[in-house]
Amino acid sequence: MSTSQVSRELFDSVMVPTYAPAKMIPVKGEGSRVWDQEGREYIDFAGGIAVNCLGHCHPVMVDALKQQADQLWHLSNVYTNEPALRLAKLLTETTFAEKVFFANSGAEANEAALKLVRRYAVDNFGPEKDQIISFKQGFHGRTFFTVTVGGQSTYSDGFGPKPGSVEHSDYNDLEALEALMSDRTCAVMMEPMQGEGGIIPADKTFANGVRALCDKYNALLVFDEVQTGVGRTGELYAYMGLGVTPDVLTTAKALGGGFPVAAMLTTDKLAPSLKVGTHGSTYGGNPLACAVAEAVFSFVNTPEVLEGVVHRHQLFRDALERINAKYDVFSEVRGKGLLVGAALNEKYAGRARDFLNATVAEGTMMLVAGPNVLRFTPSLIIPEADIEEGLARFERAVAKVVAGE
């Protein structure tokens, strides 16, 4: 089927209606620019939802994929492979972790983490230590277990009985968490910055307090760094900036720069609970995925890239605050690194989608985080000229929404 025969209407006729994608269909990307079927150019501030950390078709990724494509595509975990082992070694050398489990998506990595903490509790304390606590407005994936642990009932309601012994506390509220915890608590799962929940960073005191409470009750601390990991916040992983070391960490999204790959990282102490046969993945550790991820991870984990993320954050923040001074649409600009949220004020509450659509019409791709927050997750190496031009287009979109156009 040629490109001319592929239309947005085809989506409605052949796809399950889980998504409602934009009318335009991108067909080519290079760096932080994307072109649709009609040849119209867009600046990409969405980054595939914090995935395209090196933009589109970066030579580092393309070369790694092409080289591996001529060697080995897939084996399954009946056998191991060199790219998977090299990537696992890289992850353990650069983080707190000593052991790695590979998967294909953030949800799968989180599923593995949740199964690990439950099994560890059973092995070491007994089946009654089963409580998992996470946070309201959190997001941990779309499997039934992870969507239940995520603190947004709109995503988990309507599918029948949910996995039990899961409770939710208020984010950045240590007293509320402590009121829920006891010796029955198996684990606390948290994002170091809530993404889907509105780009809300964890307070350092709160994060350290969560760690202390977990230690007090022999509970494990799980950091979901699916969105914040691999340089997104200006650190390799956000836990490093908080000064808190988790027992388990999950990473995906930017790990492969656009190639589906994920990992659960943990310690020698916990890993034995997932002994042979307790968990698995057919595609996890795929040679193609791991070869690309190794190249992406090594490129990102440099002072130049990580310091550049901090610098680019300030460019976004300064520009968004200038726009707000002119149009008075945001109550707050928040976030860290290149995970930036602009929260709409009361006058524009619930209208995030209007701003998104107007911005796409002006030639910039962006995201929302709920009905009240505009989300920016561009390439970590987006050129400053693209930031300037993309935000100029965004400002034109804001002006049109404010004018009621």
State how far the Cα of 98 lies from the Cα of 100, in Å rounded to an integer.
7
Question: Residue 232 half-sphere exposure, CB side, CA atoms within 13 Å?
Answer: 33
| Among the four given CATH numbers 3.40.640.10, 1.10.150.120, 3.40.50.300, 3.30.590.20, the one describing domain 72-300 | 3.40.640.10
Q: What angle do CA 264, 200, 319 make, to 5 degrees?
A: 115
Give pLDDT, residue 151.
85
pTM for the full model? 0.95
Give pLDDT, residue 4.
63
> Active site residue: 44, 130, 224, 386, which one?
224
First to last CA, the chain: 38
Q: Is residue 229 part of an annotated ligand binding site?
A: no
Q: Is residue 101 part of an annotated ligand binding site?
A: no
Q: Identify whether the C-beta of residue 135 lies closer than 8 Å to the C-beta of residue 152.
A: no
Give pLDDT, residue 33.
98
Residue 248: strand pairing partners: 222
Q: Is residue 322 part of an annotated ligand binding site?
A: no
Measured torsion, CA atoms of residues 152, 157, 161, 167, in degrees rounded to the nearest 10: 20
Q: Is residue 134 part of an annotated ligand binding site?
A: no
Report phi then psi at 403, rounded to 5: -80, -5
CB environment 49-61: b (16+ within 10 A), e (fewer):
ebbbbbbbebeeb
One digit per residue, pLDDT tens: the chain, 405 residues? Answer: 555 689 999 999 999 999 989 999 999 999 999 999 999 999 999 999 999 999 999 999 999 999 999 999 999 999 999 999 999 999 999 999 999 999 999 999 999 999 999 999 999 999 999 999 999 999 999 999 999 999 888 889 999 999 999 999 999 999 999 999 999 999 999 999 998 889 999 999 999 999 999 999 999 999 999 999 999 999 999 999 999 999 999 999 999 999 999 999 999 999 999 999 999 999 999 999 999 999 999 999 999 999 999 999 999 999 999 999 999 999 999 999 999 999 999 999 999 999 999 999 999 999 999 999 999 999 999 999 999 999 999 999 999 999 997
Q: Is residue 281 part of an annotated ligand binding site?
A: yes
Give pLDDT, residue 5.
85
Give pLDDT, residue 2.
53
> Active site residue: 45, 135, 139, 206, which one?
139
Strands 26-30 and 33-36 turn out to be antiparallel
Q: Is residue 351 part of an annotated ligand binding site?
A: no
139: annotated active-site residue: yes
Reference 287, options 261, 252, 250, 249; nearest CA is 261
Which is it for the CA torsion 268, 51, 192, 20, positive or negative?
A: negative
224: annotated active-site residue: yes
State how far the Cα of 38 lies from the Cα of 232, in Å rounded to an integer.
32
H or E element at residue 4:
none
Give pLDDT, residue 386.
98
Give 154-220 as a DSSP string.
HHHTTSSSPPSSEEEE-TT-HHHHHHH--TTEEEEEE-SEETTTTSEEPPHHHHHHHHHHHHHTT-E
In the chain, residues under CATH classification 3.40.640.10 are 72-300
Give pLDDT, residue 196.
87
Strands 166-169 and 131-135 turn out to be parallel
Give pLDDT, residue 3.
52
> Active site residue: 247, 253, 376, 386, which one?
253
Q: What angle do CA 133, 152, 374 make, to 5 degrees?
A: 120
State how far the Cα of 93 lies from the Cα of 311, in Å rounded to an integer.
26
In the chain, residues under CATH classification 3.90.1150.10 are 3-58+303-402
Q: Is residue 317 part of an annotated ligand binding site?
A: no
Q: Is residue 282 part of an annotated ligand binding site?
A: yes
The CATH code belonging to domain 3-58+303-402 is: 3.90.1150.10
